[in-house]
Amino acid sequence: MIFFENLNHPLARSVADACAAQGDDIFDVSASSGGLSEAIAANGAPRALVLTPPERCEAQAMRDAFYDPAKALEFGKQVHADAMQFLINCRLATQAMMTEKTGHVLFLGIDDVAARLVGLPENPIANQLRVSALKSLAKEYGRMGIKYNAILSQPSKETVDPKTWRSQRDQLKVYTMRFSPNETREYADFCAQAVQGSLPLNGGLLCLGKGVMEMAA
Partner 1 sequence: MSYSKIALITGATRGIGRAIAHKYADEGCRLVVVYRSNQQTADETKAELEAKGAEVLMLQADLSDAEACARVVAAAKDRFGGIDTLINNAGGAYDGAFAAMNPEEYAGLIQCNLVAPMLLTIAAKDELIASAKAGRGGEVVMMASMAGVTGKEGQVPYSTTKGGLMGATRLLARELGPEGVRVNALAPGFIRTEMVEILEPKMYEHVLSASASPRMGEPYEVADAAWFLGSSNSSYLNGVIQRIDGGFLR
Which residues of this chain interact with partner 1, rule CB under 8 A?
58-59, 62-63, 65-66, 69, 72-73, 75-76, 79-80, 83-84, 86-88, 90-91, 94-95, 98, 112, 116, 122-141, 203, 215, 217
Tell me the C-alpha distance between 158 and 187, whole Å: 12
Q: Closest distance between partner 1 and the C-beta of residue 183, in Å?
A: 28
Q: Please identify, using beta-carbon distances, which residue of 86 and 190 lies nearer to partner 1.
A: 86
Residues 6+ away with beta carbon under 8 Å from 20? 26
Tell me the C-alpha distance between 125 and 104, whole Å: 23
Tell me the C-alpha distance between 170 and 117, whole Å: 12
Q: Closest distance between partner 1 and the C-beta of residue 138, in Å?
A: 7
Whether the Cβ atoms of residue 29 and residue 43 lie closer than 8 Å to each other: no
Q: Please identify, using beta-carbon distances, which residue of 72 and 199 lies nearer to partner 1.
A: 72
Helix (H) or strand (E) holding 109: strand 103-110
Whether the Cβ atoms of residue 30 and residue 37 lie closer than 8 Å to each other: no
The three-point CA angle 4-5-6 to 5° equals 95
Q: Closest distance between partner 1 and the C-beta of residue 26, in Å?
A: 25
Whether the Cβ atoms of residue 54 and residue 111 lie closer than 8 Å to each other: no
Beta bridge partners of 148: 105
Q: Please identify, using beta-carbon distances, which residue of 124 and 155 lies nearer to partner 1.
A: 124
Helix (H) or strand (E) holding 134: helix 124-141
Q: Closest distance between partner 1 and the C-beta of residue 31, in Å?
A: 23
Q: Please identify, using beta-carbon distances, which residue of 131 and 208 lies nearer to partner 1.
A: 131
Q: Please identify, using beta-carbon distances, which residue of 7 and 106 lies nearer to partner 1.
A: 106
Q: Closest distance between partner 1 and the C-beta of residue 125, in Å?
A: 4
Q: How many CB atoms lie within 10 A of CB 146?
A: 22
Q: Closest distance between partner 1 and the C-beta of residue 98, in Å?
A: 6
